[in-house]
Amino acid sequence: MDRLLDTEHENERIVLGLLSSVENDGERSQRHIAAELGIALGLVNAYLKRCVKKGLVKVRDAPARRYAYYLTPHGFAEKSRLTVQYLSDSFSFFRLAKADCAHVLDAAKAAGFSRLVLAGKSDLAEIAILCAVEAAIKIVAVVDPRSDDAQFVGVDLVKSYTEVKDKFDAVIVTDVTRAKLSFDAAVEACGPDRVLAPALLGLRPPQKTTGGEA
């Protein structure tokens, strides 16, 4: 069992490293990525093909008979999920999440938002609730359609935005496993100008590309 967990952890480490490398510079050679991740060149090729098949990465022609890779929206979401999962095993997650939440709450205050809803029950939501106390911002409720609990860290927990009893100004996405889906649902319910998200969730628009795709 432990060996299986170790294998899964290593697999996730390689996928996260590969997606991060592609995001930083999609024109890096596979040899460069192999050296960066400390794995065999053939393994990089196998993982890239797997990521392309899963729809995480797309490939296009580049000069000098090479290929350039870029992340799809699904790839961004998977990278974010793996990042949070990887960081959550260490104190690094708390430090990063607290800094991100403080930044988002500052942005909310600057926009005149003082009563917020969190989208997603998670460790990130718990940190956001704690940071909100320091920022003198009221967390009205947590929306999570997958939870049957009535409260979370002393805050009302409901399944939809229509069930939120009190008035609120905006939403902060705190769903770490289905961040993009929660973001889209919040935008649909409240409008894009009223939805914020910590940077670590990686909720960003897809890259624009030119040339052919494979």
Q: To 5 degrees, how large is the angle CA 136–CA 87–CA 115?
A: 20
CA distances from 184 to 73, 115, 173, 192 (A): 12, 20, 10, 9
The answer to whether the beta carbons of residues 201 and 80 sit under 8 Å apart is yes
- Rounded distance between C-alpha atoms, residue 150 and residue 161, angstroms: 14
Say what angle helices 30-37 and 41-53 make with each other, to 10 degrees. 110
Residues lower than pLDDT 50 in the chain: 1-6, 205-214
**Adjacent-strand bridge partners of 35:** none
Taken in order of first residue, the domains within the chain and their CATH numbers are: 1-71 (1.10.10.10), 92-201 (3.40.50.720)
Contacts of 152 (CB under 8 A, 6+ apart): 121, 125, 126, 142, 144
**Adjacent-strand bridge partners of 8:** none
pLDDT at 135: 93
pLDDT at 62: 61
Give residue-wise pLDDT tens across range 9-59. 678 878 888 888 888 787 778 888 888 777 888 888 999 999 999 999 998
